[in-house]
Amino acid sequence: MSDNLKEEAARSAVALVEDGQMVGLGSTVSFAIRALGERVRNEGLEVRCIPTSLDTRIQALEQGIPLTSFEEVQSLDIAIDGADQVDPELNLIKGGGGAHLREKLVASAAERFVVIVDESKMVERLSRPVPTEVLPFAWRLAAEGMKALKGEARLRTARGKAGPLITDNGNFILDVDFGPIRNPGKLEREINEVPGVVEKRHIHRAGLRGPCRRQGRGQGHKGMITFKKVKIGLVTLVHTAPE
């Protein structure tokens, strides 16, 4: 997928942002951050944003986007993020950016959740390793728990430094390979029961509440999956249901 198409998709998502809104920014939406910055500078768009990672925060500040926090606001009008895989039932696997817990909190506070994906992310069955945020104290315990679920857990390592990747919350990430996922809802519940798990970014649509729809402009273009009203499960689940 070319950068031109990625930018086009990002601009389509950012076009949904309205003046005066509170906006959540995901960890893998660089093109959207740039597009939003352009609207702030060129249109005088007034928004305040909560980023889901330190990297997103830095990018937003560089673009001149005003930021806020949950100390100041407790609800958002819209949140924009990406996904690693999407199946025909709109189940998602997310977490490649490593901002698991903060993504969940931002999505849960948003009235509307917009997920940007391209055709390379659309699959018949979810199969990517599931990113799972775990407590450093219990990462090995959690990895053993994944074995019981027939998952092969790999501790994510950092780039540019030796050792494991550390999330913005001071946790580790296990990328757990379950092979093709036949029952996303069942796996969701089972992973949530594993001791040491903090946040897992496999999103099962069956429990989602509120209308959802797809947007796209044909083959070769990115599409957007939008969730009008987002609720999050007790620990890990973004829940949205069909109309």
- Active-site hit among 103, 133, 188, 199: 103
How many Cα atoms occupy the beta-carbon half-sphere of 45 within 13 Å?
25
Structure tokens at 222: 């990115």
Calpha distance 216→228 (Å, rounded) = 16
How many Cα atoms occupy the beta-carbon half-sphere of 30 within 13 Å?
5
Dihedral angle over CA of 69, 72, 73, 74, nearest 10? 90
How many Cα atoms occupy the beta-carbon half-sphere of 171 within 13 Å?
21
**Which sign does the torsion angle of CA 144, 149, 152, 158 carry?**
negative
Calpha distance 180→226 (Å, rounded) = 25
Is 152 catalytic? The answer is no
For the annotated catalytic residues, the residue numbers are 103
